[in-house]
Chains A and B, each alone.
Chain A
Amino acid sequence: MPEQLAFALEVTANGLMAGVLYALVALGFVLIYKASGIFNYAQGVMALFAALTLAGIIDGQVPFSHLINAVFGTDVHYFGWNAPAFLAILLTMVVMIGLAYAVQRLVFRHLVGQEPIILFMATIGLAYFLEGVGDLMWGSDIKSIDVGLPQGINTWIDDTTFNSLGYGFFIDNLDIVASIIAALLVIILVMFAQYTKQGRAMRAVADDHQAALSVGVSLNFIWILVWSLAGFVALVAGIMWGTKSGVQFSLSLIALKALPVLMLGGFTSIPGAIVGGLIIGVGEKLFEFLIGAPFLGGATENWFAYMLALIFLVFRPQGLFGEKIIERV
């Protein structure tokens, strides 16, 4: 097999795995958008906040330590223990559920029935607020997360491909684990939405608020539920990205990559988010490999996704799977 083709295959495999992570972030957007019509700009910051909280709990950091020290003149920074990863993840999830409750209770409950643009602005405010709270709680230094996920080159794949193709694929163990977890999460979420009582209620709210009320569904409960689920998705994305490249502000920017994913997949479709994520992941890696690096001087990964999204907006504004916009006269 020619080396070029093998290399292209490797690039595709890496692209698929990056795509799964994009899909994961996009999924957080879709969940909230479907159930409440809110485009949650804060999704990326939620991932950052979740990762910060997780790192802080594992390290046994005292939350708001700077504030406490400044007000009371104390000098506390650490509790002096390290939480086991599993417990820390559970605790972080509790924090994310609390956040979902607070967001619904304090912000969106008062904005029911407002224009979408106002809801959107509220999420921008939420993003900045959450970013500030994250800093205040856990400090602004770069942290690393280690919850025991394997890292480094997968030697089995390297050996196997080298023996059969004469070219060893470089694939990171973390990417493999991340894509398996993300794929599982997507399957679980789809099953939950499709086959459980709460899932059915969630879809009901997404479809028609009045009708949902008439069959005994509490809108408030469902909204807290979807914000919690989005918080959970953010936590998983935060762990993956945090492990890969450290917990820092740029983590919140991965959410921007979810935007072209959503334009491709449609804002209302869970399968769309998955397929859109994969297309963007593979697309940007292959484009860089085939066209970008040899002809355009590289670094096309930064803008390829947005260009693809722009093309989609022109020719198929509802996305691949989005609900078709039909206007009746």
Chain B
Amino acid sequence: MNDLADGYVTADGRQIGPVVMEMKNITLRFGGVEAIKDISFDIRQGEIRAIIGPNGAGKSSMLNVISGFYVPQDGEVWYQGSRRAPMKPYEVAQQGIARTFQNIALFEGMSVLDNVMTGRLTNMKIGMFWQSIWKGKAEREETENREVAEKIIDFLEIQAIRKTPVSRLSYGLKKRVELARALAAEPSILLLDEPMAGMNVEEKEDMSRFILDVNDEFGTTIALIEHDMGVVMDLSDRVVVMDYGKKIGDGTPHEVRNNQDVIDAYLGVAHD
């Protein structure tokens, strides 16, 4: 499947486009520890791409490399057809890559609506001068962006808590608000760091539905990290499996599930 240059059609009939992001031979070290060892994979337009692996496999490090929080010692990141120079996380965000965090990084003191509106910051272009005057151009821009934010709030079914300060919300709702904030940027790639971590079954089902709906409705390319195998297999189009910083599998959920290395990594096997 990887050799199909312009994409492929999934089992449920969605058209997947060409490669938007490609990681080439990424190696990341912290001192003497190699968190990621020479890993390559790609993400295609419109697909849901999962990175899975046991704890400590280097999944989050990989996501941090994509979003610019870590800079790899070796390897290249290709994005939308050109090689990406090492850049700061905020520059990556400005390029249209939005993310959520495993431990939820919301602005606790602000309302849900304000949090979602911060997601629109990269889409608001009007300078500080007009912003300070606020009338005219700036006001129009604010209104337009507000409409997008409201649309996303409706879509994720959090209208009822629009004005609530985030610090008062439950864990599951916070995760959803964080998704809303990332989505508000209308990203070309959406990175989700363990979107289901710490949730109960019902919340997991809700979150899975939202992820599928987002992909379906907006055509958003999604890369997600998860260690719950069951959830990942249902959600994703293609899966990268990592273990001890190495890539041990890459393919459709079906292929990965039958991969002997993957089975060993998850069930444990005596190394010889």
Which positions in A face B, CB cutoff 8 Å? 191-192, 195-201, 203-204, 206-208, 210-219, 323
Contacts and interface: CB of A to CB of B under 8 A. Distances in A.
Contacts of B45: none
Contact of B107 (A198, A208, A216): A208
Q: Which of A192, A195, A200, A218 has the most CB of B within 10 A?
A: A200
Given A208-B108, A210-B101, A197 B90 contact: no
Given A213-B88, A214-B67, A192 B132 contact: yes
A280 B67 CA distance: 48
Contact of A215 (B91, B109, B118, B138): B118
A196 B118 contact: no
Most chain B beta-carbon neighbours within 10 Å: one of A200, A212, A216, A219: A216
Interface in B52-93: 67, 69, 88-91, 93
Given A200-B121, A203-B109, A207-B107, A214 B132 contact: no
A216 B114 contact: no
A215 B106 contact: no
Interface in B171-196: 181-182, 185
A195 B142 CA distance: 9
A217 B94 CA distance: 9
Contact of B118 (A204, A210, A218): A204
Q: Which of B90, B91, B131 has the most CB of A within 10 A?
A: B90
Nearest to B141: A197
A203 B111 CA distance: 12
Interface of B: 67, 69, 88-91, 93-94, 98-99, 101, 105-110, 114, 117-119, 121-122, 124, 126, 128, 131-132, 134, 138, 142, 181-182, 185
B122 A216 contact: yes
Given A195-B134, A217-B90, A207 B109 contact: yes
A196 B142 CA distance: 8
- Chief secondary structure at chain A's binding surface: helix
Nearest to B178: A211
Contacts of A216: 90-91, 93-94, 121-122, 185
A213 B142 CA distance: 21
Nearest to B106: A211
A213 B132 contact: no
A201 B105 CA distance: 15
A58 B124 CA distance: 39
Most A-side CB within 10 Å, residue of B117, B121, B132 = B121
Contacts of A191: 134
30 contacts: A192-B132, A195-B142, A196-B132, A197-B121, A197-B138, A200-B114, A201-B121, A203-B107, A203-B109, A203-B110, A203-B114, A204-B107, A207-B110, A210-B101, A210-B105, A211-B107, A213-B89, A214-B67, A214-B89, A214-B93, A214-B98, A214-B99, A214-B105, A215-B98, A215-B119, A215-B121, A215-B185, A216-B90, A216-B185, A219-B90
Contacts of B98: 214-215
Contacts of A199: 131
B131 A208 contact: no
B121 A214 contact: no
Contacts of B93: 213-216
B101 A211 contact: yes
B101 A214 contact: yes
Given A208-B105, A208-B107, A215-B98, A200 B132 contact: no
A223 to B, nearest CB: 13
B132 A217 contact: no
A203 B117 CA distance: 12
Nearest to B184: A215
A217 B121 CA distance: 8
Contacts of B138: 196-197
Contacts of B118: 200-201, 204, 212, 215, 217
Q: Which of B88, B118, B142 is packed against the most chain A CB atoms within 10 Å?
A: B118
Contacts of B132: 192, 196
Contacts of A218: 88, 90
B67 A208 contact: no
B131 A198 contact: yes
Nearest to B68: A213
A191 B121 CA distance: 17
A258 B237 CA distance: 59
Residue of A211, A212, A213, A215 ringed by the most chain B CB atoms within 10 A? A215
B250 to A, nearest CB: 26
A200 B117 contact: yes
Contacts of A200: 114, 117-118, 121
